[in-house]
């Protein structure tokens, strides 16, 4: 929350321009961490790099990863989206209400559309009304998860008869499980969007120095609305994948998802002050979390100890980056 100081000290010095050339250093350290973890995993557990285990690792984090891509883009613009868990749950519940129609296109379409619309509402509140995104998306989290419970009367629904729905969680494409396939596709799309398109430049400019961006003719309100809508869509996709994996649509699903996703995003190098971060970094961070969780599972470490270890990993990876950034000035 040291928004004021960080913005003036880092980003006014051309932070976003630097970060387009510098992230290799930050990403490199993350890649090294990932590499060390993978090598250590393979030494400790010879089956670690087997296709079966890799499939387990990647499928487990695919949902979180996709959502973290959307979150990364929101964070790059200097905003935050705390509503993702609510948006994901309301989207799948809306899909669940349409299960009796038996039409996969309608069910999946409604799920994705719901996520997109809720994200759009978030964006409009932030960009047009100028409400702090921390508060408005916090309110959206409460509203969306309440509506999910109200619409479903708290009852879970089971999409198992809709094969196309289940495909998102349990299907495979060219031998690759669909969640992993989607993770890869979304990663490619998001990397392209942020690195090689005009929109990407607008994104970093908006977060780096909003006033400068505005004065150079960038419609920062539109940029923000687009990223919030996209983040909402990502939340719906994640909801779809996770509910299909579990085989049921639970209106009480995903408690605390926003914090997990934010943790991955920050681990990926995005600063909450905006203007920095990359989708590629977030992808590496997703893989780090996946590998750490998998290794801890193999060691038989309890779920609660895993929470503590994950928190420490984030701190260890994030803190040196923060200190460096102070010297960038």
User: And the tokens for 61?
Assistant: 């984090």
CA atoms within 13 A on the CB side of 119: 33
The CA distance from 195 to 206, in Å, is 15
Segment contacting other proteins by CB under 8 A, of 45-53, 90-98, 274-282, 302-310: 302-310
3-state secondary structure of 172: strand
Query: Residues 109 to 148: which contact other proteins by CB under 8 A?
Result: 125, 129-132, 134-136, 138-143, 145-147
Site membership for other proteins, residue 314 (CB under 8 A): yes
Among 32, 163, 312, 328, binds other proteins (CB under 8 A): 312
H/E stretch holding 175:
none
Cβ-based nearer residue to other proteins, 161 or 323? 323
Query: Residues 223 to 282: which contact other proteins by CB under 8 A?
Result: 255-256, 259, 262-263, 266, 271-273
Among 24, 160, 307, 328, binds other proteins (CB under 8 A): 307
Cβ-based nearer residue to other proteins, 202 or 325? 325
Quick check: 187 and 64 in contact, CB under 8 A? no
Quick check: 253 and 243 in contact, CB under 8 A? yes
* Residue of 194, 196, 192 whose CA lies nearest to 207: 194
Quick check: 228 and 119 in contact, CB under 8 A? yes
Cβ-based nearer residue to other proteins, 7 or 30? 7
Query: Residues 44 to 103: which contact other proteins by CB under 8 A?
Result: 80
Minimum gap (Å) between residue 86 Cβ and other proteins: 9
H/E stretch holding 177:
strand 176-177
Cβ-based nearer residue to other proteins, 7 or 245? 7
Rg of the chain's alpha carbons, rounded to an integer? 20
Q: Which residue has the tokens 């998306």?
A: 137
**Largest pairwise CA distance in the chain:** 59
Minimum gap (Å) between residue 260 Cβ and other proteins: 9
Site membership for other proteins, residue 220 (CB under 8 A): no
Cβ-based nearer residue to other proteins, 200 or 275? 275
Minimum gap (Å) between residue 275 Cβ and other proteins: 13
The CA distance from 136 to 132, in Å, is 6
User: And the tokens for 272?
Assistant: 């909450």
User: And the tokens for 315?
Assistant: 């701190």
What is the binding site for other proteins (CB under 8 A)?
A: 1-8, 80, 125, 129-132, 134-136, 138-143, 145-147, 149-150, 154, 210-211, 255-256, 259, 262-263, 266, 271-273, 302-308, 310-312, 314-315, 318-319, 322-323, 325-326
């Amino acid at each position: 929350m040291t928004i004021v100081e960080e913005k003036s000290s880092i980003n006014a010095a051309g932070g976003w321009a630097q970060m387009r050339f510098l992230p290799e250093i930050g990403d490199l350290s993350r890649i090294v961490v990932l590499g060390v973890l993978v090598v250590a995993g393979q030494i400790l557990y010879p089956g670690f790099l087997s296709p079966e285990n890799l499939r387990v690792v990647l499928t487990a984090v695919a949902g979180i990863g996709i959502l973290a891509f959307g979150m990364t883009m929101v964070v790059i613009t200097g905003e935050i989206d705390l509503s993702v868990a609510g948006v994901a749950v309301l989207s799948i519940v809306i899909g669940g209400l349409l299960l009796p129609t038996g039409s996969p296109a309608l069910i999946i379409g409604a799920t994705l559309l719901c996520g997109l619309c809720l994200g759009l509402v978030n964006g409009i509140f932030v960009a047009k009304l100028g409400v702090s995104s921390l508060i408005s998306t916090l309110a959206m989290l409460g509203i969306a998860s309440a509506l999910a419970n109200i619409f479903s009367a708290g009852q879970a629904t089971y999409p198992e008869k809709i094969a196309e729905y289940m495909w998102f969680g349990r299907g495979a494409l060219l031998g690759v499980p669909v969640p992993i396939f989607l993770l890869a596709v979304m990663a490619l799309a998001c990397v392209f969007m942020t690195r090689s398109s005009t929109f990407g430049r607008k994104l970093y400019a908006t977060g780096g120095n909003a006033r400068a961006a505005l004065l150079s003719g960038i419609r920062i309100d539109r940029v923000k609305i687009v990223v919030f809508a996209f983040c909402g869509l990502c939340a719906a996709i994640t909801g779809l994948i996770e509910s299909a994996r579990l085989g049921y649509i639970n209106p009480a699903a995903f408690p605390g998802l926003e914090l997990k996703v934010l943790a991955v995003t920050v681990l990926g190098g995005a600063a909450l002050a905006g203007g920095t971060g990359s989708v590629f970094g977030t992808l590496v961070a997703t893989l780090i979390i996946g590998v750490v969780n998998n290794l801890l599972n193999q060691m038989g470490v309890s779920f609660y100890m895993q929470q503590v270890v994950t928190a420490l990993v984030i701190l260890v990876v994030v803190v040196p980056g923060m200190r460096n950034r102070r010297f960038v000035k």
